[in-house]
Structure 1
């Protein structure tokens, strides 16, 4: 019986392996987007035998198994057909962008390996082989059109068949470029597609379906925020100002939403440029002013609102989006990574206080309160609150080397206050107690305390603060590799040995 059971289990394992191999073979032979393109070409050509030649980067012979020997009538593609395929290519572009980023990291790593090899005959041959392989991979990559390029080419094929693309198709192409992960080139191609929509919107007879909307502009902003270009934040903000100008002229369909504002703030936070944090905060200030104006207008016109102007209130909130937790966290992060700001800890803490104040006033900032009923929303809000506190701790740790004693003392005060708020609540609007610290909280606090100790020249007994943070971390069961690495790297060797020995004794007991 035991042998039969083993044999049965082995058969199940073999069947499972065959299924996995079949799925792997199928997924490697063609993607969903390629299959959709193939079906679209069948519709374009009427599926006539012998009329199936093109020079695309994939081969129709993959699908020969689905062919019949006789011609069959296939409906002609319409606008919906093309938009569906373009949307599939936009989704594939996201996958290609992630793979491209991984490939670029591997290529940089390979180049570093080439440079580090010694100039010996055997390793020189290996270097030549690897270099040839590297060039072949690049040629193979360039020989295929990207998903974004294929999506944009479909717009031309639509026009050839007398079908004018609509804004849905254009937006999908812009999204494909913003997701492609090709840096500045992606952003410029996305902006070119947007420019073509803007040029065509004046011709009502031929381009009645084409008019750029919020999604069109927001996708271009997203492309610039991900581009990594030095002028990316400025270009993203220029598109945002264009949206605001259109909104002021009455074009509600192109009015910027909070996603567009957050994308521009995120672009500034990642830029590393001088004054980037101030630019990010200025956008937040404009949103807060708009939010206050929205609340004021709603209260002053309460009687008018009752008379049936529910649409007016909705349009008012649409035109003046309210900042949410992503907005505030992005600005805090911008201050944390500003290399030139000596008062970054003060500014980051000020943004955190404003965020918590908005939450206490009941603004739609999406933080946990008694009115929250969606469990997933509550958990996400707790995570964002914890992340905001962690970013302020990180800002304290990243104080510039040329910061004066006053900035250092201010940073220490903010560090202690923020750490207490994050770990024991601190009485901050009774909202800090709604989330629990994680290992990043303790690692950032230990790193910030240790770095400020070096700057303050033993003016304060910071070792006791580091020790207390580590003890709190132990009590919470959050001593991870991140915390241990931070302790060994930033704390003094004597203190590090003391804490680790104490931990070993506790573990043994």
Structure 2
């Protein structure tokens, strides 16, 4: 059920967990189980016939809820985590939650459509950090995946119409905590989520968008240049599946930074600064040894030119024509980029 992704998977998986616990309770009530003594927990010969749920069982139920698509999936996943935290065998060590337990619940909230999803994910991360500080149990040490879940939760909500307006700040704060406090080196995926959040930020002005995204991108470029094996923060633990995935992630870093220059900027001077940042970002991408522009790069650049430059000005016409020619040469022209270019320059020969 945990891997099925069916709407009823969470409910069915939890029903199996409840059945297992009922069997264990009936067995223990007869005096043959040792629920308070972990050393004698499996000493009884008949105990081999009793299937006792372990942390993997609970994690699987949380995963089933997380993948079910149910509106209350995140609440259900967290309730299973709480059951695991309060289990009588938790103190004895038999049924303690681990990093996967928290990561599963965090990602359930991160994907949730509920307004409080990102906040709930962050609360679980804070609980995990606190438990790790209190117990020094490495099984409870927050992982890169846990931080990524919370960052993604805030980044996703930055695209909502009913967003709060502080999503980008919250996402970047988690990134800094991960890097500076937990000592875990963020990967391209972590940075991309924060840069994307800034691209969707509601606040007006260059300081809250283009410059913030640019600062993160430059730090990420420095991370790429550094040797992971000799980094003080250790190797990245959130690796992409293939070299192609990594190249795509790095291109997305630049694309998100360009998008951060193309919205919610009203002041003319701020628009000029944003334009210069976008052009510099595009040039660095073209000259990068790690990745190259893709179709989304040109969509972002056409949108930027349409938003920041005076309509039908010589500067706008020249930039769009140059972008169009290069886009065609590189085989990156799509219907979307063509439509934006034609809308921006209706009288052009494009």
TM-score for both structures, normalised by structure 2 = 0.82
Which of residues 468, 477, 480 is equivalent to 2:331? Answer: 477
Q: In the alignment, which of 70, 73, 78 is matched to residue 191 of structure 1? A: 78
In 1, the alpha carbon distance for the partners of 2:12 and 2:322 equals 58
Partner of 1:492: 345
1:260 matched to 2:124:
no
Is the Cα–Cα contact under 8 Å of residues 396 and 448 in structure 1 kept in the other structure? yes
Checking the alignment, whether the CA contact within 8 Å between 2:240 and 2:246 is kept in structure 1 is: no
Alignment size in residue pairs:
309
The equivalent position to 1:354 in structure 2, one of 208, 219, 229, is 219
1:83-482 matched pairs, under 5 angstroms: 89-92=1-4, 94=5, 96=6, 146-162=8-24, 163-183=51-71, 185-201=72-88, 209-249=94-134, 250-272=136-158, 273-290=164-181, 320-343=183-206, 344-363=209-228, 377-397=242-262, 399-400=263-264, 403-423=266-286, 425=287, 432-454=288-310, 461-482=315-336
Q: Deviations over 1:91-139 (max 9, x none)?
A: 11x2x26xxxxxxxxxxxxxxxxxxxxxxxxxxxxxxxxxxxxxxxxxx
Q: How far apart, CA to CA, are the structure 2 residues paired with 1:375 and 1:274?
A: 30
For the Cα contact (< 8 Å) 2:2–2:10, is it kept in 1? yes
More helix by share: 1
Note closer, same or farther for the CA distance 1:365–1:155 as it changes in structure 2 (3 Å cut). farther
**Partner of 2:36 in structure 1?**
none
Q: What residue number does 2:37 align with?
A: none
Structure 1 CA distance for aligned equivalents of residues 96 and 166 of structure 2: 35
Mapped contact 2:312–2:345 kept (Cα < 8 A): no
Would you identify which runs of 4 or more consecutive aligned residues in structure 1 move more than 4 Å?
A: 201-205, 457-460
The SS at the match of 2:260 is helix
Checking the alignment, whether the CA contact within 8 Å between 1:266 and 1:330 is kept in structure 2 is: yes
**CA shift for structure 1 position 439:** 1.3
User: Is the alpha carbon distance of 1:396 and 1:364 closer, same or farther for their aligned partners in structure 2, counting shifts above 3 Å?
Assistant: farther
Structure number with greater Rg is: 1
Compared CA separation, residues 262 and 204, structure 1 to 2 (3 A): closer
Helix, strand or coil: the match of 1:165? coil
1:302-353 per-position Cα deviation (integer Å, ceiling 9, x unaligned): xxxxxxxxxxxxxxxxx63211111111111111111225321111111110
Unaligned runs of 5+ in 1: 1-88, 98-145, 291-318, 367-373, 426-431, 500-509
C-alpha distance in 1 between matches for 2:192 and 2:294 = 17
| Whole-Å separation in 1 of the counterparts to 2:91 and 2:193 | 41
Q: What's the Cα RMSD here?
A: 2.3
Quickly say closer, same or farther: Cα 1:365–1:437, change in 2 above 3 A.
Answer: farther
Q: Relative to 1, partners in 2 of residues 1:153 and 1:254: Cα closer, same or farther, differing over 3 Å? A: same
Higher relative contact order, structure no. (Cα contacts within 8 Å, ≥ 6 residues apart): 2
Q: 1:393 to 1:352 in 2, by over 3 A?
A: same
- Gaps in structure 2 of 5+ consecutive residues: 25-50, 159-163, 232-238
